[in-house]
Chains A and B, each alone.
Chain A
Amino acid sequence: MLKRIQRETDHPGAVVKIREAAWPAPFKEGLEYSSPARGTWNIVHTGMLIPESHQIFVCALGCLRGVVLTAAEMNAMDRYSSVIIREENVLDGTMEELMIGGVTDVLEKLPYRPKAVLLFISCQHFFLAYDQQQVFAALREKFPDIRFTDCYMIPTLRKSGLTPDQKMRMQLYSMLEDGPKDPRKINLIGSNLPVSRSSELVWMLENGGYTFQSIHDCHTFEEYLAMAQAGMNLFYEPLARIAAEDLEKRLHQPYLYMPFTFDDEELSGAYQRLAETLHLPELDEEPLRKRKREALLAVRELIGDTPVAVDYTLTFRILSLVKLLLTYGFHVTEIYADAFLPEEKADFEWIRENYPEIRISSCVRPWMRFQEREREEKVLALGQKAAYFTGTDYFVNLVESGGLYGYDGVVQLAGLMRDAFLNRKDRKTVIQRKGLGCESCI
């Protein structure tokens, strides 16, 4: 029986088949819609990873709103303060006085003494060309026992050089200082979520006699500072490259990129490079691949031809994941994304050639507000946005890959797919919580 692939509410400016999709951005820019799926992290969540630190945002009321309530919803108001920019500061050029006076007032009011302050500035500061050096010098002189670092909430500048996400990941390590190194210590940097301890990546390093740590393992500011002792930094998120480069330059820590891929050969190449660099025994991947195959085949058997929708918030390499699922016979019908990373190009071409009818849907085009969000048939969604747009309660609740790295990561993902297929979730409640993995009072 013939099935109509394009639904009546599909809009040509918001939904496109991959065979017709432009690379790397399938949709034109314009006004944007924001769906209620909120599980991804923002700069407040990321900054809170530094133990014993305090965040101070200097912004207009409108800009403060999202960050103060992020802190509140993650039960971290005791580590957050605001300094409010008003019209007179813009008109009179009193930004420096406001910042120095405001931060001083905050620090005198706090019932505790933070060891570090993350001082966030906004787009307005850039347009006013305020004197950042003067402000930080004055604060460091006034509070010599506190470390200050500059952080940025600058969405207007998101297309000019580094994105706010990239800058935040870099500034997260900006207080580390160069010093003696311990070559047996390895950092994982730039990830909001900790890597799963059952990943073969962790096993490989620890079995080779290395101490493998990330900022999530630091419970004191001193432990955080000790990350500077590591002999090497690993990262697997493309957004973290700039942080790795900065640490190499400042702290003389070399880095190795371990791509978050779902492709066996690419992953294998990464493990081989890791083994060579750190003189580790070569990883016996065959049993791991076998376990991965079995997990995927088992869940494929369960899910059958149920349509699968995937969105970009689930993992950095969304097209790599889609290719894997298609290879194993999953009925992937929709991809929700507005742009793809350069390293996804080969996967994009592969899908376009082999599954040209797969639909790519925008998450932000205005029409998506009115896209039909209920489906007659059961849909399995991978990611919160896919769950929202397809109106399914059967979804994998995961963002930013959830630290599920490598062959073991796929096995765990298969388990999450099984669970999602069998058990409904309270979609409305679950997807509206901010910063999946952080505390939430919602």
Chain B
Amino acid sequence: MRQVAGLISTYSSDEFGICSALYELGGMVVMHDASGCNSTYTTHDEPRWYDMDSMIYISAISEMEAIMGDDEKLIRDLTETALEMKPKFVAVVGAPIPYMIGTDLPAIAAITEQETGIPCMGFAANGMNYYTKGVSMALEAIVRRFCTGPAVRTENLSVNILGATPLDFSLNGSVDSIKDWIRENGMDLGACLSMGSTLEDIAGAGRAHVNLVVSYGGLAAARYLKKQYGIPYVVGVPFGEKFPAMLAKMLKEAASSGKDLVSYRPVGKNQAPPGTDSQNSEDHLAGDRINGRHTGKDADKTRISIIGESIFSASLAAAIELDCGIPTRVLCPLDTEDILLRECDLRTPEEDDLMKYLPETKIIVGDPMYRVLCGKDQRFCPLPHEAFSGRIYDPVNPNLINRKLAK
């Protein structure tokens, strides 16, 4: 049945994705919800909480405030606290109850901005969507609001990283490794949205030559920067030994040609179309795999299945195929678009979908909390995903960026 996770965990939600994406930017992020969501996010989904101060708060809405639609209290609390704490911006984030009572969060943000003179943004999250959507909303909003610098390109080829949060990349050094890899390939690092950069860095993101989109959450911001600044984007994460070289080459090609590329799709089929979703484009019909070893026809004989976020997993699949020569497909339970998957990859939003498709595979790569779905004759390779199992596997979450993958 749909909407049942009888055996496995459930993913982080949109409200927490927003918090995660905005965490390091000096803003005050307020979840408009009862107490509980705040500690949930900070305990399970925010590995920076203990060591890095950030203004993540909750409005602590009560039943009467919800029933009476007491927006005044929220505005008062936001205003008082913002004037006291002096954040660089305020983000007020929706949750299930504000969604149900129809709270107009953008309007509340606008009034708070008027009262405080501090930039405020309202996010119509509702706790019922995946974190991927929240990261996407937050990063798009932040570039729309704060990326206001000139469109003059930097002297050297520079790259922004879009879509980096601990929910997908943990704190295991992966994001630093991506930054190092960019520099090692003779390119400069622009802004990283949203780990390790300031709001001021983001203001200058329009000067980069190309954007590297490392998760679905970075795609909407990339499209905005393309439209506003003409910056092309390349989708992919530099996993493994051979794939990073290919990805680096694509970044340079895109910077030169201005064309958007999905790095792990076959040559000739990898140009991202303009617009928001390529569901009807011909690109998603591509059959050849990145190494040309097998076609869409034998997708059911895939030896490895990776469960996870689309860009992360498809990049890893490409890296495995290039480095190890093993056919690999992605089972994506989260928000994505067809252009971000290959033909052999599948969208699997339900536990039942996974139970249907996993028996076809010999090796399962996924968060350890998927192990329960692994059959006796299958091999399970744990790859922790913060957005699924939270902090549990932080100590053993490997950094696979730009290095040999263990067989």
Contacts and interface: CB of A to CB of B under 8 A. Distances in A.
Interface of A: 13, 29-34, 36, 38, 60-66, 68-69, 72-73, 77, 81-87, 89-90, 98, 101-102, 104-106, 109-110, 122-124, 126-128, 153, 155-160, 366-367, 369-370, 428, 432, 434, 441-442
B96 A83 contact: no
B64 A61 contact: no
B57 A33 contact: yes
The SS class assigned to the A binding surface is helix
Contacts of B42: 34, 36
A387 B7 CA distance: 37
The secondary structure that dominates the B interface is mixed
A441 B78 CA distance: 37
Leading 7 A-B pairs by shortest Cβ distance: A62-B127, A66-B40, A155-B34, A62-B13, A61-B13, A105-B1, A109-B6
Contacts of A82: 4-6, 10
B392 A442 contact: yes
Contact of B59 (A31, A84, A101, A369): A31
Interface in B64-81: 64, 66, 77-78, 80-81
Given A84-B3, A90-B99, A159 B39 contact: no
Contacts of B362: none
Contacts of A72: 9, 369, 389-390, 392
Contact of B128 (A31, A62, A123, A441): A62
Contacts of B45: 65
B127 A69 contact: no
Interface in B91-115: 95-97, 99-101
Given A72-B9, A160-B63, A60 B128 contact: yes
Given A31-B77, A84-B3, A156 B97 contact: yes
A29 B62 CA distance: 11
Nearest to A110: B6
Nearest to B31: A62
A30 B77 contact: yes
Interface in B15-67: 15-16, 30, 33-45, 49-50, 53-64, 66
Contact of A36 (B13, B49, B58, B97): B49
Nearest to B387: A65
Contacts of A156: 33-34, 61-63, 66, 97
A63 B39 contact: no
B128 A87 contact: yes
Given A31-B30, A156-B61, A66 B4 contact: no
B224 interface: no
B7 A62 contact: no
Contacts of B12: 61, 65
B3 A83 contact: yes
Given A102-B3, A109-B4, 12 more contacts: A32-B60, A62-B95, A63-B36, A65-B16, A69-B9, A69-B390, A73-B390, A82-B4, A104-B1, A105-B6, A106-B6, A370-B53
Contacts of A30: 60, 77, 80-81
A86 B42 CA distance: 23
Given A77-B369, A85-B128, A65 B62 contact: no
A5 B392 CA distance: 40
B84 interface: yes
Contacts of B260: none
B59 A61 contact: no
A65 B4 contact: no
Contacts of B372: 77
B14 interface: yes
A123 B34 contact: yes
A61 B17 CA distance: 12
A124 B100 CA distance: 8
A62 B5 contact: no
B146 interface: no
B129 interface: yes
A81 B11 CA distance: 13
Interface centre among B43, B49, B58 (most CB of A within 10 A): B43
Nearest to B94: A62
Contacts of A38: 39, 43
Most buried by A among B60, B101, B128: B128
A374 B34 CA distance: 30
B108 to A, nearest CB: 13
A384 to B, nearest CB: 13
